[in-house]
A and B are shown apart, each in its own frame.
Chain A
Amino acid sequence: MELQTLTYIVVGATFLLYIGIAIWARAATTGEFYVAGKGVHPVLNGMATGADWMSAASFISMAGLIAFKGYDASVYLMGWTGGYVLLAMLLAPYLRKFGKFTVPEFIGDRYYSQTARIVAVICLIVASITYVIGQMKGVGVAFGRFLEVDFETGVLVGMGIVFVYAVLGGMKGITYTQIAQYVVLILAYTVPAVFISMNLTGNALPQIGLGSTMTGSETYLLDKLDQVVMDLGFSSYTQQSGETLNLVLLTLSLMIGTAGLPHVIIRFFTVPRVKDARSSAGWALVFIALLYTTAPGVGAMARLNLMNTIQTGEIGSPTGNLVYAERPDWFKNWEKTGLLAFEDKNGDGRIQYYNDANKEFSAKAEAWGWKGNEMTKVDRDIMVLANPEIAKLPNWVIALVAAGGLAAALSTAAGLLLAISSAISHDLLKGVFAKGISEKAELMAGRIAMAGAIAVAGYLGMNPPGFAAQVVALAFGLAASSIFPALMMGIFNKRVNRAGAILGMLTGLLSTLIYIFWFKGWFFVPGTAMAANTPDNWFLGIQPESFGAVGALINFVVAILVSKVTAPPPEHIQHLVEDIRVPKGAGSATGH
């Protein structure tokens, strides 16, 4: 069957499944709309969390990032998984015991302050909007490449699907579609990975294959890869090239940020008991680890395949490089998208792919008649998407990858949209502006807020503003520097009071934002940066993406010092903290 037809069938079938689930899982109450009636089994919630968490970036970009950065990309692997240990022990069970609907609601109640709640709402909305734009773009790209429709049409179809299940079903609909989406995305990710690992190493598990010898040889895959890339002037795959301080701080910022992202935290409000929140975090990480431990294999093997495709013979020999006219079909397909580009700089009709920024190697290359790297564009995002084609896998695998990329983007978008809409309808509307609103009216407001959030996200996905590309700096920086410390101190430090929490959040937030804007431009407007974004200018050599951990530290210190010199929280707040610290009585907790 034609690939195009097959892809339409597979993607169409998954969409029908999501809509079917939406109709089955309609939300009738605010409790169902915000937290799925708190009736989700911990293993299923773990699966839904996996899909909620693993975005278009995890599915499409991460293996590519690993392929080109090698060891240095480990910060993303550790950062985006290690956060779950923090979440499981420091936040999830206590926030579940608290038993309400949103993250800002906890901050508002614990610090007996509407101001604190509104600061939390603002952080939540900025972080979530930044994040959701990338998902909408991912939907557009996946449609464009696999179904050959325009980017805008792709985004509109994606918005339509999310609209059906998120507006109808709220958290309940989102949860059950996320479970289905997890299954689709993990199959789509692991099936090609297993094929490729079998091909290269004879070992079906990429986790083992990455540490094995190449098929028919005594050489280990990683040693071979190191040699292949270094022979062409690139830096070693398995050795560190980044600054240790930034690797440590970026990992820490990503971990703290992961634990502080509201769309992940609210998933743990949906399980029946406190102990389920603990184990559910473990299950979530199991399901996430399935993809995250596969990704290093995918990245390394894709890089090796790419290098070997182009450098077919001895380096420096006139016939050692691939003849452009004989390039494989996948190469041609991706050239059409502009994500892969070749320019025959020395006019020999062959492709030279090497690191021309490496002076020593460039000098050697010149002697062979090479006139610069001819792969002028190798977008890292194509690594996962092109993998099945590079490995010559059957068409149904390629169709599955398309459905998987869409599942990853849609499931994350839905989780983020729910966090945004519940902050608007529950925290702002019911919490601040219209306290007397009935449950029925609030549910309607929730659906309207959801529809509005989808429209905004879709619009911004089609017209991405400058900040959309700054997910790591902005979304993780904000979650790390403002939300995580406020939540953690709210549970672990009874003495932190209203003034401390508000000032802590604001200093953490502002120091991080200003540091990012200083080097990347105010609100990311090009040309407004105060200093060039180079290591010489950075404070103590800290890159803007790694600053979230420093912002978190500032938040902790300010909150504790200010609380020390101001009056302790009232007695009923101290009782509230004592109460959330023990699981007993969680069953009777309600949404109000």
Chain B
Amino acid sequence: MTSDTSASEYWRANVRLLVGILIVWAIVSYVFGILLVDQLNAIHIGGYKLGFWFAQQGSIYTFVILIFFYAWRMGSLDRKFDVHED
């Protein structure tokens, strides 16, 4: 930690990033997978109705991408604020 202001900036950047990710996380599962499932089911991708696909497949793929995206972005934030390990 270089200084208090830099530490709190780092923390704010982290919180901003994770709030953004949580919004996507909630949209693919709760909104696409449950709340709007009937509307999305009007759209077909192959044999999948889109809402059904998000609930049983798409949300899970998105979760995986979100975690790796978070890990990658945090890695750059760590270096930018000089709080990385080693």
Contact = CB atoms under 8 A, between A and B. Distances in A.
The answer to whether A and B come from one shared complex is yes
Contact of A78 (B11, B38, B60, B83): B60
Interface in B28-86: 29-30, 33-35, 37-38, 41, 45-49, 52-53, 55-57, 59-61, 63-64, 66-68, 70-71, 74-75, 78, 82-86
A89 B18 contact: yes
B78 A583 contact: yes
A285 B41 CA distance: 26
A85 interface: yes
A282 interface: yes
B61 A289 contact: yes
Contacts of A240: 34, 37-38
A188 B67 CA distance: 27
A286 interface: yes
Contact of A578 (B7, B61, B85): B7
B86 A587 contact: yes
A171 B63 CA distance: 27
Interface string A76-92: 01100110110011100
Nearest to B4: A578
Q: Is the interface of B mostly helix, strand, loop or mixed?
A: helix
Contacts, number: 147
Nearest to A244: B34
B31 to A, nearest CB: 10
A293 B53 CA distance: 10
A523 interface: no
A581 B12 CA distance: 11
Interface residues of A, number: 52
A586 interface: yes
Given A211-B45, A582-B1, A587-B86, A78 B21 contact: no
Contact of A210 (B1, B48, B60, B71): B48
A77 B55 contact: yes
Contacts of A248: 30, 34-35
16 contacts: A71-B37, A74-B33, A77-B55, A77-B59, A77-B60, A78-B33, A82-B63, A89-B18, A89-B70, A210-B57, A221-B47, A222-B48, A251-B33, A293-B61, A578-B1, A583-B85
Given A66-B56, A82-B29, A89-B67, 15 more contacts: A74-B52, A78-B29, A78-B55, A81-B60, A81-B63, A211-B53, A213-B47, A240-B38, A248-B35, A275-B85, A279-B71, A282-B67, A289-B61, A292-B60, A584-B1
Interface of B: 1, 7, 10-11, 14-15, 18, 21-22, 25, 29-30, 33-35, 37-38, 41, 45-49, 52-53, 55-57, 59-61, 63-64, 66-68, 70-71, 74-75, 78, 82-86
